Structure 1
C-alpha cells in the first residue's frame, strides 16, 4: 500500500512475463539492426549456396514459436518507434517480423550498429526504419529513368561501334550513373559547391560524358586514336583522363566537379584527392564544408590495395581530415578473374571502413530507387557528421569477367 493512499501497489506492477516478452522483442529488433544485412536481398545474381541466417534472426532463439505470431507487443523507443502513432501503439509479432525483414533484409543492407555514438545510430535508424523510406514523386522517378536511358544508350553505342576496345562499360551496374548524380545533387542541397571526384575505371567514360559533359566526339576520337597530345605523340588512354566542369543540379544549385586523371592503379589517386580537397578548404576556411571528396572504387582494389587503408587512416586526423568522404564501391563480385572468396579474408569488401567507424550501406544495383535513396542518405550523413561513409553497390559484369566487355 502507498502511505496515505488506499492503493495496492501490487496492482500497479507489470507482470514479469510481460516485461520479459518485451525485452525479447527488443532483442529481436536489435538483432535485425545488427545482422539483417547478412541475409539482405542485395545480390542481383542471387547465387545459390547462401549461408544460413544468423540464429539471432530466428524466433526460437528468443523462445518464441509460431503460436506467438499473432500476439501483440508494444511499440516504443527500442521497437520500431517510427511505426507508433496515436492510433497504433501495438503490432503483432508477425507484423514486427515482416517489418524488420522489409527494412533490414530487402534491397538495402545497413551496417551501423558499430558506430560510436548514439546520435549517429539514431540518425540513421530514424531514416531507414520508416513505413515508406524511399517513395519518390513521379518527377524524380522520371529523372532517374532519364539518367538510366542516357547511360545505357551511351554504352550501347560504344559496344556497337568499338566492340574490341576496352571501355569498362556499365552493363550489370546500370544504376551507377543515377547513383553518381544523386550523390552530387544531394550534396549540393547540403551546401557542397566543390566535389573532388577520383573515379574508378568502370563507368568512367560514361561519367565523363553524362556527368561532366565531355564532348562525345572527343571520346569517340580517342577510341579511333586520332587525337595526339600537344607534343605530337599519343596521349594517355581515354579512361585515365580527367575533367573539370560546373554542373547545375535540378534545383538550380551549381557544383564544381573535378574528375582526376589517374594511373593504372587507380587507388593511387585517393591521397591526391584528399590533399586537393584540403588545399581548397584551407583557402576557404570559413566554408570548409562546401568542398568534399566523392571517391568511387571497385571491389578487388578497395579490399586489396594499401592506398585504401593508409588514406582511411588519415580521415579523422586534425592535420589531414577533409570533413568526410563518400565512398562508392562498384562491387563487381570479381577481381579481374578471381572470386571474392579467394580475394580477401573479410566477409565484405566494405569491412575495412569499420576501422574508422564509418557506416556501410549494401545495396542491390538492380533496385535503382534503393540505390538513389542510399546515395541521398550518405550525403546527408556526411554533411551532418563530417565523417566517411560507404555505399557497397553490389553488381556484376554482364559481358565479361576481366577488362574486356
Structure 2
C-alpha cells in the first residue's frame, strides 16, 4: 500500500480535511445549494455530492431546511398531549398544499369582490386576479378531489378543494361583493365572515317576504311609468334602473323596528326622491300629482321644487311604530349629510339613547357625489368622535354608474369603487347587483344588523343603471 493510500497519511488527511466536524455548518449550506441547483456549487463539490449514496438506494435527497421547517410547523399545530404521528403518516407535499389552500381562502376574502357579478348591464368587465387562481398558490386541477382542513372558513372542518372553491365563489363572487378585510377589529371581521359564509351569501326568504318584495318593486316601477307617461318632459329624477331602492328601504325600516328603533331620519338628493316619498313614507300620490300640476295650495308650502321637499310619517313594523323623517334638501347633493347627523344626535339625546338603538340615521347618496364631494369625508371623519357620533349610519349609494358630467369611470374618480372613502373609518362595504332584489334585501339585513351590533357606519353600494333623466 502506497503512502498516499494510507488513511493516516498527510495526503489523505489533506484531501478529507474539508469534511472535518468544524466545517459542518459550511458543508450543510453547500449541500443545500447543491440540492436546489447543482449548478450553484463548484464542479469538484458537484462530483463529490453526485457520488454520495442515494436515499433508500434510488430517491434524491430533499433540502433539510424544508424538513426542519415543516417539523417546527407540525409542533406548533399539535395540541398538547397529542400522540406523535408515525413518520410514515406525514406527507410533506400535502402539508404544504394545506397551507396554500388556507392562503387561497384568505385571498377570496380580500379580493373576491373584484370578480363578483355586480353590473346589471354587464358593461363592466371584471379584471383577471392572479391571486384567485389555483396556479398562483401552487395548486392545480389534479388537487380538486383532495381533502383539506378548511381553517376559519365557516362550515365543515374538512372538504375537498373543489367544494372549498365552490363555497368561496358562491359566497364572494356572485351578485354580492363584500369588502371587509380592511377592518382592523378581528371580531367584526369574524362576524361578517360568519354571516356570509354560513349562508354561502344565498338569500332564503319565505313566501310572505317575497310577496312583499314583489309588491314594493311593482309599486316603484308603476309610479315611474305613470309619471313618465303623464308628465312628459317634467323633471322628476327617475329611479328607473334602481327600483330596488324601494324594497331596500322598506326592509330596512321593518328590520330596524324589530331591533327596537323608534325613529329613522333620512337624507338624500334628488334621484328617486319622489318614489321614496310615495312608496316608503306614504305620501299620497294625489299630493304628488297636484305638485306636478301646480295645484298644491298647502299653507305649509315652501315654494321649493317637489324633489327638494321633506316629509315625515309613522310606519308600522313588527316592533311597533317607527317615525320616519325625510330631511329637506337643496341642490347641493351631499350637504344634507351633517344636517341629518345633527338631527339624529339631538333626537338621541332627547330620548337618552346613548347606544343609538332608538334613533337611526340613513343617508342615500349618488355614486359620483359620494366620491367627489368633500362633505362626505368630513362627515365620516366625525362619525366616531365623542361630540358628534350617532352610533353608526347606514349609507346607501344609488350607483347608476354615471356622474352628471362624465360618461366613463376613467373621468369620474381615481379609486376602484366610488365607496372607497368609507374605508377611512373601517366601514364594511357591501356591493350588490341592483337587478337581484333578493340579494339586495340580504345585503340590507347584514348592513343593518352590523350597525346595530357594532355601532359603526356601514355602506351598501347598490349597483344599478339610469334609464331616464
**3-state SS in 2 of match to 1:109:** strand
Give 2:332's match in structure 1, choosing from 265, 272, 280.
265
In the alignment, structure 1 segments of 5+ residues that lack a partner are none
Distance verdict in 2 for CA 1:9–1:365, change over 3 Å: closer
What's the counterpart of residue 34 of structure 1? Answer: 110
Aligned-pair Cα RMSD in Å: 1.9
Q: Which has the larger radius of gyration?
A: 2
What's the counterpart of residue 137 of structure 1? Answer: 206
What's the counterpart of residue 281 of structure 1? Answer: 348
Decide which moves more: 68-77 or 106-115.
68-77
- For 2:304 and 2:341, locate their aligned partners in 1 and report how far apart those are by CA, in whole Å: 23
**1:156 aligned to 2:225?**
yes
**3-state SS in 2 of match to 1:201:** coil
In the alignment, structure 2 segments of 5+ residues that lack a partner are 1-80
**3-state SS in 2 of match to 1:289:** coil
What's the counterpart of residue 33 of structure 2? Answer: none
Q: Does the aligned pair in 2 maintain the 1:229–1:235 contact within 8 Å?
A: no
Cα deviation code 1:266-308 (max 9, x no counterpart): 3111101000011111112256421110110010111101110
- For 1:9 and 1:348, locate their aligned partners in 2 and report how far apart those are by CA, in whole Å: 49
- For 2:417 and 2:432, locate their aligned partners in 1 and report how far apart those are by CA, in whole Å: 13
Distance verdict in 2 for CA 1:285–1:210, change over 3 Å: same
**3-state SS in 2 of match to 1:390:** strand
Cα deviation code 1:114-153 (max 9, x no counterpart): 1111110011110110245411111111110011111111
- For 1:354 and 1:131, locate their aligned partners in 2 and report how far apart those are by CA, in whole Å: 25
Deviation at 1:182, TM superposition (A): 1.2
What's the counterpart of residue 65 of structure 2? Answer: none
**3-state SS in 2 of match to 1:296:** strand
Q: How many residue pairs end up in the alignment?
A: 385
Give 1:24's match in structure 2, choosing from 100, 103, 120.
100
- For 1:231 and 1:118, locate their aligned partners in 2 and report how far apart those are by CA, in whole Å: 50
**1:168 aligned to 2:244?**
no
What's the counterpart of residue 125 of structure 1? Answer: 193
Distance verdict in 2 for CA 1:16–1:231, change over 3 Å: closer
What's the counterpart of residue 311 of structure 1? Answer: 379
Cα deviation code 1:316-374 (max 9, x no counterpart): 10110000000000001000240222111111001000001000000000000000010
Cα deviation code 1:58-85 (max 9, x no counterpart): 11001111211222212332xx22x21x
Distance verdict in 2 for CA 1:16–1:169, change over 3 Å: same
**1:254 aligned to 2:321?**
yes
Per the normalisation by structure 2, the TM-score is 0.79
Deviation at 1:90, TM superposition (A): 2.9
- For 1:60 and 1:340, locate their aligned partners in 2 and report how far apart those are by CA, in whole Å: 31
What's the counterpart of residue 436 of structure 2? Answer: 367
**3-state SS in 1 of match to 2:307:** helix
Give 1:388's match in structure 2, choosing from 449, 457, 460.
457
Q: Does the aligned pair in 2 maintain the 1:151–1:177 contact within 8 Å?
A: yes
- For 1:252 and 1:317, locate their aligned partners in 2 and report how far apart those are by CA, in whole Å: 30
Q: Does the aligned pair in 2 maintain the 1:72–1:93 contact within 8 Å?
A: yes
Q: Does the aligned pair in 2 maintain the 1:198–1:269 contact within 8 Å?
A: yes
- For 2:198 and 2:327, locate their aligned partners in 1 and report how far apart those are by CA, in whole Å: 38
- For 2:85 and 2:211, locate their aligned partners in 1 and report how far apart those are by CA, in whole Å: 61
**1:320 aligned to 2:396?**
no
Decide which moves more: 12-21 or 27-36.
12-21
1:4-403 to structure 2, matched below 5 A, reads 10-11=86-87, 14-47=90-123, 50-77=125-152, 80-81=153-154, 83-84=155-156, 89-131=157-199, 133-228=202-297, 230=299, 235-249=303-317, 251=318, 253-286=320-353, 288-338=356-406, 339-399=408-468
Distance verdict in 2 for CA 1:275–1:101, change over 3 Å: same
- For 1:385 and 1:308, locate their aligned partners in 2 and report how far apart those are by CA, in whole Å: 21
- For 2:414 and 2:168, locate their aligned partners in 1 and report how far apart those are by CA, in whole Å: 29
Distance verdict in 2 for CA 1:65–1:281, change over 3 Å: same
- For 1:265 and 1:131, locate their aligned partners in 2 and report how far apart those are by CA, in whole Å: 40
Q: Does the aligned pair in 2 maintain the 1:228–1:235 contact within 8 Å?
A: no
Per the normalisation by structure 1, the TM-score is 0.91
